[in-house]
Structure formats: structure tokens, C-alpha cells
Amino acid sequence: MVKAAVAVRATVLMGVNSAVALRTTLQRSLNRKNFKLRDQSWHPFKTIEVRGKKEEVIDEDDELLKCAKEEFGEEVYKAITTSAMELNEYNPNVREPVQEIWNFKERRRATTTEAISFVLKQLKSCRQLKASRRSAR
């Protein structure tokens, strides 16, 4: 959902307090303009050929995107276009959000190795905590 994606990206870029204010303003304005990222009738993409392969890229001439860029600025425009590309990448027919593991320190998707490493560290920490509680008895 565009609101959630914009809110997450805004929080990372701006901090929690100003992101809440931005999200509220953005939700009201986007609702007023009937801007719905998950609306399947809206297709802000164009197909181009890159090295013999067809790829979908954001159509810079899309009216809703132009409006969002003018009203909200470059950062929100980038968040919307990134969200649109991600939704289109995972499931272009339905455009449903997909949960993914995120590396917040490096502002990118986490690799499988990073995810497994994190889970193993958490498991080790949990086991150590349980062992220390047992020995304290």
C-alpha cells in the first residue's frame, strides 16, 4: 500500500515525528486526488527494450505522478515510484504488498544470509538468557 510504503520510507529519511505529520498530510491529499497505488486501472509504467529484453519502467509523463511530484516534492515522488515498482515486481496482476526482510542500517533488502544470521543470533541470545535464568535458581 502506498501509504504504508511512503510512511516507512519517510520514517527512515526524516525521523518518526516529522514522518507522522507527513503521512497524515499525504494520506489526506492523496485521497483527495483519488491517488490509489493498488488501483489496477492505474498503470504508471511504459515498456521499453533494454539489451533485447522488454522491461517496465515508470512513465514520467503519467498525470498522477506529475501531480504528486508537484504537490509533495521529489522525496515523496521517489517513494511512490519505488513502491509502484516493487508492487509491480512481486505481483503485477493484483498489486498486493509483500512482506520482505529489510536491512535498515544499509537501507536495502536483506540477503537470505543476513536474515539467517540474524535469526541465529537471536536464538543464541534467547538460549543464553534461558540458561542464565536456570542457573540463577
Domain of residue 38, residue span = 2-99
Task: Please check whether residues 38 and 86 belong to one and the same domain.
Answer: yes
Q: What is the pLDDT of residues 64-114, one digit of tens each?
A: 888 888 888 888 888 888 878 877 887 777 767 677 788 888 888 889 999
Task: Please check whether residues 94 and 117 belong to one and the same domain.
Answer: no
**Number of structural domains the chain divides into:** 2
Task: Please check whether residues 39 and 83 belong to one and the same domain.
Answer: yes
Contact 55, 43 (CB under 8 A): no
- Strand, helix or coil for residue 50: strand
Residue bearing cell 536483506: 110
Task: Please check whether residues 74 and 126 belong to one and the same domain.
Answer: no
| H/E segment holding residue 83 | helix 74-90
Q: Please tell me which residue, 81 or 8, carries the higher pLDDT value.
A: 81
Mean pLDDT score across all residues of the chain: 76
Confidence of residue 2 (pLDDT cuts 50, 70, 90): very low
Confidence of residue 20 (pLDDT cuts 50, 70, 90): low
Rounded Cα distance, 19 and 26, in Å: 10
- Closest by alpha carbon to 64, among 39, 89, 47? 39
Task: Please check whether residues 92 and 120 belong to one and the same domain.
Answer: no
Instruction: Note the pTM of the prediction, 2 decimals.
Output: 0.52
